[in-house]
Amino acid sequence: MTTERRLTSFSHGAGCGCKLGPDDLRTVLGGVTLPRASADLLVAADTGDDAAVYRLPSGEGLIATLDFFTPIVDDPYDWGRIAATNALSDVYAMGGRPLLALNIVNWPVDDLPLEMLARVLQGGADVAAGEGVAVAGGHSITDPEPKYGMVAIGLVPSDEVVRNSTAPAGAALYLTKPLGLGIVSTAIKRGVAEEDLVDAAVDLMTTTNRAAGEAMRYAGAEAATDVTGFGLLGHLHRMLLASGTAAELEADAIPVLDPRILDLARSDVVPGGTKRNLASVRPHTDFADLPGPERLILADAQTSGGLLIAAKHRPSIEAAFREHDVAFARIGEVVAGEPGRISVAGSLTP
């Protein structure tokens, strides 16, 4: 009798943890010369932001982004939902609303049934429909390793684009989803994740950042990015570097999905992408006495993570979060200092 292979067994990495590491990406992009951009290109690749934004003749900003990755869970429908939620997140992180999506599909047609692919696509379509986004086709190729994601297109008023490069000293830093999703995905791949922990992770990864994006726009937040493959520290470092500022984090204020995340980190159930993230941010981060497993959690490669928001007027942003029913944690502050520098005080555990 043959045993059906688990979907995650086809994946060399899980979710956003399989992306190129920050240092490798810098090396590649350092060898690429791009043509001079139009003045209508409001947000490009130079600041490492979540999406590109181009000003249309109407004055609105067109947001364009794409994201795809290898299986992060074994249920194909859930994988589709997670991938779509993750792709749309970049539009919300720019303060926009998504309108249109295209599927990206790589599929091992000789090893996995096409009916399973249909379930993946259905998961993506259902998330898109729930967000008012039309899925208008896409592109597929055969590939020994399955991959799925979306191109996402959205709109935002040109004068309301929320960038990652405008985080001023004195702004409070907020995180809208807990950390640990990359570690859970590795536990799933290794077959050591408890069912209730998987369910909690899937619920979190299929919760869109629409409400968080609306709250930050309503409150006039100064800057934002979503926390995905480069982890909290990696995305914060890029924000600070682009903004010319530094940050101080309070580790005991940073939410973690479940206490078992720390146990998994101590047992080295950690994505390779998370370890690459930590190596990349270590020269720019003062961890004080924070133990190694907790450092890994702060660098954990998230998939469909929350928004990291910098806002100067704390009462306004916190009231907006509550009005929009957004879970949030104030995790630190942007400060004047060496651009990109991060200081961490305290511990994730009491």
Percent of the chain with pLDDT over 70: 94
CA pair distance 149, 82, nearest whole angstrom:
9
What pLDDT, on the 0 to 100 scale, is given for residue 350?
61
Cα dihedral 300, 301, 307, 308, rounded to 10, equals 50
Where among 160, 182, 205 does a domain terminate?
Answer: 160
- pLDDT per residue as tens digits for the range 46-97: 888 789 999 999 999 999 999 999 999 999 999 999 999 999 999 999 999 9
Task: For the chain, give the number of residues.
Answer: 350
Q: What does pLDDT average to over the chain?
A: 92
CATH number, domain of 136, equals: 3.30.1330.10
Q: Are residues 155 and 190 in the same domain?
A: no
Q: Are residues 135 and 114 in the same domain?
A: yes
- pLDDT per residue as tens digits for the range 283-308: 999 999 999 999 999 999 999 999 99
Mean pLDDT of 110-133: 96
Q: Are residues 333 and 189 in the same domain?
A: yes
CATH number, domain of 183, equals: 3.90.650.10
CA pair distance 75, 215, nearest whole angstrom:
32
Q: What is the pTM of this model?
A: 0.92
Query: Considering the domain boundaries, does residue 340 fall inside one?
Result: yes
Q: Are residues 320 and 215 in the same domain?
A: yes
Across 163-190, b (16+ Cβ under 10 Å) vs e yields: bbbbbebebbbbbbbbbbbbbbbbbbbe
What pLDDT, on the 0 to 100 scale, is given for residue 4?
62
16 has catalytic annotation:
yes
- pLDDT per residue as tens digits for the range 5-46: 778 777 666 554 556 666 776 677 677 767 777 889 999 888
Which of 14, 16, 183, 256 is the catalytic position? 16
Where among 99, 126, 160 does a domain terminate?
Answer: 160
Distance of CA 319 to CAs 104, 158, 206, 254, 261, Å? Answer: 38, 25, 24, 19, 30
Query: Considering the domain boundaries, does residue 207 fall inside one?
Result: yes
What pLDDT, on the 0 to 100 scale, is given for residue 3?
42
CA pair distance 170, 173, nearest whole angstrom:
9
Q: Are residues 155 and 214 in the same domain?
A: no
Where among 160, 194, 228 does a domain terminate?
Answer: 160
> Beta partners for 334?
247
Q: Are residues 115 and 196 in the same domain?
A: no
The residue range of the domain holding 82 is 7-160
Query: Considering the domain boundaries, does residue 71 fall inside one?
Result: yes
Mean pLDDT of 202-208: 97
> Tokens representing 207?
């919760």
